[in-house]
Amino acid sequence: MLVLLGLTLAALFTGAALYINVAEQPARLALDDASLLREWKPSYKHGFALQAPLAAIVFLIGAAAFWQDGDGRTLTGGLLMLANWPFTLFVIFPTNNSLLATEEANADADTRRLVERWGSLHMVRTAFGAAATLLFLLAAADA
């Protein structure tokens, strides 16, 4: 049961992350610099509110599933989800903070480059989620 819950929530995280990369990010990059920033700020806050808790919850579920059945794939999947936290805090947050500190009236080509960088960094979060989802799927297939 825990493996399926972990799989479901890891897939939810991954789907949300992938949507940002393949739909939302390209759409925002089609906007002018000020509009791009105006769209990014609330989108980032809402995405963070969804994905941060999901990453932590999937880690806890992966650890509990490992404790329950000893399948290292669930623990590894949970650890991959948890890896989103330090990656975000130490790698993505400097970009986030620069963007959040930028006033819309001051948005320019540097702002656009920061949003492009943010999108590239966010792809790593998507990859962590996809790898975790695959591990939970493999564990669920054998359960």
Cα separation, 47 vs 21, in Å, equals 12
Identify the CA nearest to 54 among candidates 23, 92, 76, 84.
Answer: 84
Per-domain boundaries in the chain: 2-142
pLDDT at 25: 98
Cα separation, 126 vs 133, in Å, equals 10
Q: Could you report the per-residue pLDDT of 69-105, keeping only the tens digit for each? A: 999 999 999 999 999 999 999 999 999 999 999 999 9
Query: Based on the number of CB atoms within 10 Å of its own CB, is 111 exposed (0-12), middle (13-18) or buried (19 or more)?
Result: buried
CB 17 within 8 A of CB 72: no
Confidence of residue 143 (pLDDT cuts 50, 70, 90): confident
Cα separation, 129 vs 143, in Å, equals 21
Instruction: Flag whether pLDDT at 22 surpasses 90.
Output: yes
Q: What is the mean pLDDT of the chain?
A: 97
Q: Could you report the per-residue pLDDT of 117-140, keeping only the tens digit for each? A: 999 999 999 999 999 999 999 999
Q: Could you report the per-residue pLDDT of 30-63, keeping only the tens digit for each? A: 999 999 999 999 999 999 999 999 999 999 999 9
Confidence of residue 9 (pLDDT cuts 50, 70, 90): very high
Take residue 75 and report the two structure tokens written for it.
């623990």
